[in-house]
Amino acid sequence: MNECKLLFGTTNKGKLAEVRKVLAPSGIAIEGLESLGSAAPHVVEGLPSYEGNAALKSRAYAAWSGRPCIADDTGIEIDELRGLPGVYSARFGLRRAAEILGCGRPSPARFVCCIAYSEPNGRTVCVHGELKGVIEVPSMAVVSQIEGTPLPYSPVFTPAGEPKSLSDMHASGSFLSHRGRAVLSLMKVLGWA
């Protein structure tokens, strides 16, 4: 598949940049919702699963735009919190996680990402990506600095076997995260890889 434009149902610039980078070698161009020039509908992620929320968004934006669309739902599952915050990661917030865990205490965790691809006719395909590691919040001062950023858990999450945080790994440009793994899996499922 060459020179294809695919809509990504997100307003998160960090996610958009990451998916663009992963798909750049394939010739698939990713456009965000803002590229269509009109106000996209607000889709409420109220379902209890990554798959449900990702599919809800991709279907809504594909129907609205008349174009194939991908959307994701991503969360961090912290062992010490029995898998929370999971699908509620954005609403739960890094500050609340740090308050419960305590600063400076590492806890095994994993990032989970579901990417859904939908066509305007309703056909939908969902795939997953996962990244295991450790979350450790050094201080509440750090929480205050990063809690409003597009990917607030990434600076305090270290992938298994890596010496740097996930955000530092992204900056290096060569690391494949949970979202990147899900995107590549989707390409294979759709026969685009």
Q: Please report the sign of the dihedral spanned by the C-alpha atoms of residue 66, residue 114, residue 189, residue 166.
A: positive
Known catalytic membership, residue 73: yes
Which residue among the candidates 72, 73, 79, 168 is catalytic per the annotation?
A: 73
Is 168 in a helix, a strand, or coil? helix
Is 111 in a helix, a strand, or coil? strand
Q: How far from 58 is each of 49, 119, 127, 171, CA to CA, in Å?
A: 14, 8, 13, 28
- Please answer whether residues 32 and 6 qualify as being in contact, where contact means their C-beta atoms are separated by less than 8 angstroms: no
Supply the residues annotated as catalytic. Answer: 73
